[in-house]
């Protein structure tokens, strides 16, 4: 029977790929733990570095949920970044948002700079950056939104238009928003990159990444990078990530609900110098966030105005927020960017983009939010 409307996000997240388990009747797909495949099989598999049924199941779900024609999965978000940057050549210029993910910054500065790829950093919340972009003739434009850890919201549709006018494709690192809350390809981006390790998996038990696109040419480049550079994920990690994606929608709903309540508490009751959360009306890009995201996601960044020692002591007193890198799992975490995620960024560069010693980033999990609030209250007391 002809369907009159496409399946919704949750339905696709749960049912995509069910036809792939052959005649076994298994409701849950297996983990295909095999390095190689018999020559001439109907699905065209040959060697797991260049493809595996678990990769294919994951890619189908991720592409569909991102609203893209193609997805290529990788061993981590950083592998996905490496795959994209490996398509560049000596002399190419990347124009990137200045508050970029720390490991992306490190990869550009300490690896790809040696191969002659240069990067110009701009603040994409400043209107003059659009004029600068137009004059630069970049090979690629690279942004994140929300950014890490300042949670700046970049107008994806506006940057896509400016990048295309300058003749460059736009990549959006969509990790902090997740496919459920924001779909960069639908907003005009050419590539949407995800660290699936975070919200897609949601259980902090595997690493994976993906690059999504509607372009056959970019897709071919990603498949090539996956096998030629050995950037492929492990079948077991793909299986765990596919399992996680089935509950992405309901987890994201709770992350958003908890984070908003948590941010409102911080703003109203703790005397914090600043509280950043995209769906708080006090956020400088609140209107853009409301337009391009369907929820504020789970990260809240706060500056309590404490000094370095006081900040570290506060973090040590928290009971429900282990101090750990990463984000997007069901459990809450806290992070001190200056000494953790952004320790590889030089102090002056860090402070120039607002990452002070007193900045704290909370990844708000899906626990009972009253308990999370109470924990911060006692640690501040």
Ligand X SMILES: *Cc1c(COP(=O)(O)O)cnc(C)c1O
Q: Which stretch binds ligand X (CB under 6 A): 15-23, 191-199, 254-262, 351-359?
A: 191-199
92 given a catalytic annotation: no
Q: Which of 66, 97, 98, 144 binds ligand X (CB under 6 A)?
A: 144
Question: Is 202 within 8 Å of 330 (Cβ atoms)?
Answer: yes
DSSP strand pairing (209-213 vs 274-276): unpaired
Q: Does residue number 101 form part of the binding site for ligand X (CB under 6 A)?
A: yes
3-state class (DSSP) for residue 377: helix
Q: How far is 297 from 303, CA to CA, in rounded Å?
A: 19
- Host H or E run for residue 219: helix 216-228
198 catalytic residue (yes or no): yes
77 binds ligand X (CB under 6 A): yes
Q: Is 264 a catalytic residue?
A: no
Using an 8 Å Cβ cutoff, are 65 and 180 in contact? yes
Residue pointed to by tokens 């493809």:
51
Q: Does 182 sit near ligand X (CB under 6 A)?
A: no
From 151-159, 193-201, 216-224, 266-274, give the range in contact with ligand X by CB under 6 A: 193-201
> Total binding residues for ligand X by CB under 6 A?
15
How far CA 312 is from CA of 109, 340, 381, in Å, comes to 29, 12, 14
List all residues 6 or more positions away from 228 whose beta carbon is below 8 Å from its beta carbon.
none
The reply on whether position 78 binds ligand X by CB under 6 A is yes
Is 173 assigned a catalytic role?
yes
Would you put residue 146 in left (φ > 0), alpha (ψ -120 to 50) or beta? beta
Contact with ligand X (CB under 6 A) among 48, 52, 64, 76? 76
Tell me which stretch binds ligand X (CB under 6 A): 72-80, 232-240, 316-324, 332-340. 72-80
Per the residue annotation, which of 152, 198, 350, 361 is the catalytic one? 198
Considering the candidates 59, 173, 190, 357, report the single residue annotated as catalytic. 173
Distance from C-alpha of 85 to C-alpha of 191, rounded to nearest angstrom: 12
Give contact residues for ligand X (rule: CB under 6 A).
76-78, 101, 103, 144, 148, 173, 175-176, 195, 197-198, 207, 209
Catalytic residue list: 49, 101, 173, 198
């Amino acid at each position: 029977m002809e369907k009159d409307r496409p399946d919704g996000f949750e339905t696709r997240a749960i049912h995509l790929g069910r036809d792939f388990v052959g005649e076994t009747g298994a409701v849950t797909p297996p983990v295909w733990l095999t390095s190689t495949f018999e020559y001439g099989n109907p699905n065209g598999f040959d060697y797991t570095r260049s493809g595996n049924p678990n990769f294919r199941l994951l890619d189908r779900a991720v592409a569909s949920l991102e609203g893209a024609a193609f997805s290529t999965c990788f061993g981590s978000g950083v592998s996905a970044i490496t795959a994209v940057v490996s398509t560049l050549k000596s002399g190419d210029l990347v124009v990137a948002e200045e508050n970029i993910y720390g490991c992306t910054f490190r990869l550009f500065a300490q690896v790809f700079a040696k191969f002659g790829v240069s990067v110009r950093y701009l603040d994409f919340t400043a209107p003059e950056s659009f004029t600068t972009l137009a004059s630069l003739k970049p090979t690629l434009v690279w942004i994140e939104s929300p950014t890490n850890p300042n949670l700046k919201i970049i107008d994806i549709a506006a940057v896509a238009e400016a990048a295309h006018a300058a003749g460059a494709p736009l990549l959006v690192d969509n990790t902090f928003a997740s496919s459920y809350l924001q779909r960069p390809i639908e907003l005009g981006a050419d590539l949407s990159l995800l660290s699936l390790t975070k919200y897609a998996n949601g259980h902090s038990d595997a690493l994976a990444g993906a690059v999504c696109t509607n372009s056959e040419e970019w897709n071919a480049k990603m498949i090539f990078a996956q096998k030629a550079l050995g950037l492929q994920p492990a079948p077991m990690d793909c299986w765990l990530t596919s399992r996680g994606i089935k509950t992405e929608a309901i987890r994201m709903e709770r992350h958003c609900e908890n984070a908003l309540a948590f941010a409102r508490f911080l703003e109203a009751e703790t005397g914090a110098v600043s509280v950043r959360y995209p769906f708080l009306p006090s956020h400088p890009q609140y209107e853009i966030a409301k337009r391009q995201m369907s929820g504020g996601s789970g990260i809240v960044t706060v500056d309590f105005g404490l000094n370095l020692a006081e900040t570290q002591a506060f973090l040590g007193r928290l009971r429900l927020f282990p101090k750990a890198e990463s984000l997007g799992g069901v459990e809450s975490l806290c992070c001190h960017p200056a000494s953790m995620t952004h320790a590889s960024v030089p102090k002056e560069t860090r402070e120039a983009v607002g990452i002070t010693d007193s900045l704290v980033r909370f990844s708000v999990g899906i626990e009972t939010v009253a308990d999370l609030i109470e924990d911060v209250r006692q640690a501040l007391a």
